[in-house]
Amino acid sequence: MFIEQRQIGSNEERRITFTSNVILTLIFIFLFFSFWNLQVLKKDHYSLLSTQNILKEVEIKAPRGIILDRNGKILAENRLSFNLFIIRENVKDLERSAKAASELTGLSVDIIKERINNFRNYPGFYKILLKRDLDFKKVIFLESRSDIYPEFTIDQEPARRYPFGSSSSHILGHMAELSPNEFEIMKKEGYSLGDMSGVSGVEKTYEAELRGVNGSRTVIRDNLGQIQKTVDVEEPEIGESLVLTIDIELQKFIEELYKDYNGAAGVVDLKTGGLVAMVSKPNFDPGFFSSSFTEKEWVALINDENKPLHNKFIQGLYSPGSTFKIVMAVAGLNEKIITTRTNTTCYGSRKIYDRVFHCWNRRGHGSVNLIEAIQNSCNIYFYQLGKNTDIDIIAGYGVKLGLGKPTLIDLPNENKGLLPSRKWKLDNLGEKWYPGETISVAIGGGMITSTPAQLLSMISTIALRGKKPQIHLMREIRRNGDKLKEYLPAFEKVNIPEEIFETVIEGLYKSVNEEGTGRGAMVEGLDICGKTGTQLILSLENPDYKELVKKRKFTPHSWFVSFAPRNNPRYASVIFVENGGDAGRIAAPIAGKIYRRLFESE
């Protein structure tokens, strides 16, 4: 079988040639205009894209301002941290990336995926923090394999360092990474994903001052993303320095006194209202939050039954016990319900409103006047005073002296306590107030609750004969070594005659210096004035009281509020020992040791 060979005529040959030329011409014209479009019309656009692929702006985190004590000792500073991030748009295989991240961080694959998923609504180029303080060997491993793991990036950032460890932790507070919700709120203030901010203590109160201004670095990258050259740098600005009123050496001294106890303590400089020490036990290591920690460590911390993150000084709500007798004495005198000559006979108990109320001294104090009742903390005297005093009058004087409302100390999340009144009970419980309830309130029991900070404010007002100082922690703020802002002492005048305070102070002086309940605080020559408070957890009427009270959790709380010296007072303090027992034996001696240390160092 043969294939016929076809002859092409000259006309057909010319037609094929013409058609081919037209097609080639059209292709040439198309290519010409395409290149014209790329090279001329869109030159700037593609040049910009090319530049963006080569140039990259890298954020430089600003160091936070340092925090110092009143003597210039550094309480919080900065150190270098290598932090691992993942960039979602560079992830080609999520399973592979999550597994690699798990090996680098020690976190489970599921936690890594969950963390990435939390930011799924953010642009793919956002950096998602996976771990702080990455081990330096792992940093070298990743940096040498950036072409294999382009989804990971490591940033050098300043992190907080606290030279004194857990000391002053409730003053300083701690840092934490912004959550997605917090970031949404704060990004307009210049925060980035993965940024840290203060969440408690002065780290939170003075976040705006301590936080610096981030800088930037413009770099040239190669086709593998490696930085080849820095072309421009805008240096970050360190945050402002915060100088506190605290004396770290006194702080450590008091914390050592509390080594076997939980509770709170505060010492205030009565000339300024500045806190010289503020303790809450147990405390915690704020540096824990500036490093990488496991989920197990975090769960253990927040589930600790002793609640180390709870600042008892401003958040702990406790019955003030017999320290509240100071308020009752001021109210009774100023309302002329009693005088210094008003006597009550204490037989160890008294029946009021068909109920028997007991004194702590079951044998009784005999006939006592007000000053003797304060000196020996006689319950019967103050039960009788409570019977004769309206609850709303008591609440009013409590507020005047600093209870039932926040002290406005410069720390976040302060509790205001409770001073019950007729209106409060009706509004909150839907019940009227019964006179019998006032009897317990008169010795600091019943519904009344206070924080140690409030009781410090109260005793400071007594010491200054009606001048209530604004207690605070900030002494000054500095920028580049220059004073930018200074706290000016503030005092509120309480409208109560000075002689009322002098009468109460006489009882407080005798309590410490003339064999009263506060004698454990006595230091020769210091003229300490104070009042004990032993607040029962169980009622004395409980049939099992003697057995139950042997258990630590049922042991009474111990209070001691005081100031020194009696005339021209220099310092005031509050001591609270959780389940400490007899206040005269536990809390008062702690105060005595603190005053001895204070005046020896001056």
pLDDT, tens digit (0-9, with 9 covering 90-100), for 201-250: 999 999 999 998 888 777 776 655 556 677 777 888 999 999 999 999 99
pLDDT (tens digit per residue) in 94-129: 888 888 888 888 888 888 888 888 888 888 877 888
Whether the upstream peptide bond of residue 163 has omega within 30° of 0, thus cis, is no
Strand partners, 363: none
- Within 10 Å of residue 166's Cβ, how many Cβ atoms? 18
pTM score of the predicted model:
0.85
**Ordered structural domains, the chain, with CATH:** 56-244 (3.90.1310.10), 248-282+312-600 (3.40.710.10)
What is the Cα 456 distance to its own chain's centre? 19
Ramachandran angles phi, psi of 13, nearest 5°: -65, -40
At 419, the pLDDT band (50, 70, 90 cuts) reads very high
Per mean pLDDT, which range of 30-39, 104-113, 421-430, 562-571 is the poorest? 30-39
Where are the extended beta strands (E) located within 514-554?
529-535
DSSP annotation string for 182-211 = HHHHHGGGT--TT-EEE-SHHHHHTHHHH-
**pLDDT the model gives residue 201:** 97
